[in-house]
Amino acid sequence: EVQLVESGGGLVQVGGSLRLSCSASGFSLDSFAMHWVRQAPGKGLQYVSAISINGGSTYYADSVKGRFTISRDNSKNALYLQMTSLRAEDTAVYYCVKESILVVPAASYWYFDLWGRGTLVTVSS
């Protein structure tokens, strides 16, 4: 079965650190850019971070820049999110997301076609 499974969430105090992992099965991660998207309790979706296929290019939302680090290990079919200096507003379910691309003449469209079930991160003061 093609799926993504996140792990590593939990309860952490303000200022603490946590490392999330995402394991892919049923397909090889090394052909896809990957992302993290989060959702605070009762709120909408918020984009967090992205990493290119070979890990050479990364992107972070302003709200996490300088505190979070995305990485991947294609040999292990895994994606990671190292979170430091955690704040209460980082409390959310974090989803690991696979990107796919539609290529047509003169354009390419990317979208999120596979989501993990998510892992809950709770930052308490």
Q: Which residues bind other proteins (CB under 8 A)?
A: 44-47, 59, 61, 95, 100, 102, 107, 109-113, 115-118
CB nearer to other proteins: pick between 107 and 125:
107
Nearer to other proteins, 41 or 56 (CB): 41
Residue 13 vs 31, nearer CB to other proteins = 31
C-alpha pair distances (Å), 82 with each of 12, 21, 30, 113, 124? 13, 9, 20, 23, 18
CB of 33 to other proteins, least distance (A): 12
Nearer to other proteins, 59 or 84 (CB): 59
CA distance 99 to 9: 22
> Shortest distance, CB of residue 99 to other proteins, whole angstroms?
9
Cβ 47 to other proteins shortest distance, Å: 5
Q: How far is the CB of 124 from other proteins (least distance, A)?
A: 22
Identify whether the C-beta of residue 16 lies closer than 8 Å to the C-beta of residue 83. no
Helix then strand then coil, % of the chain, to nearest 5? 5, 60, 35
- Answer yes or no: are the C-beta atoms of 69 and 81 closer than 8 Å: yes
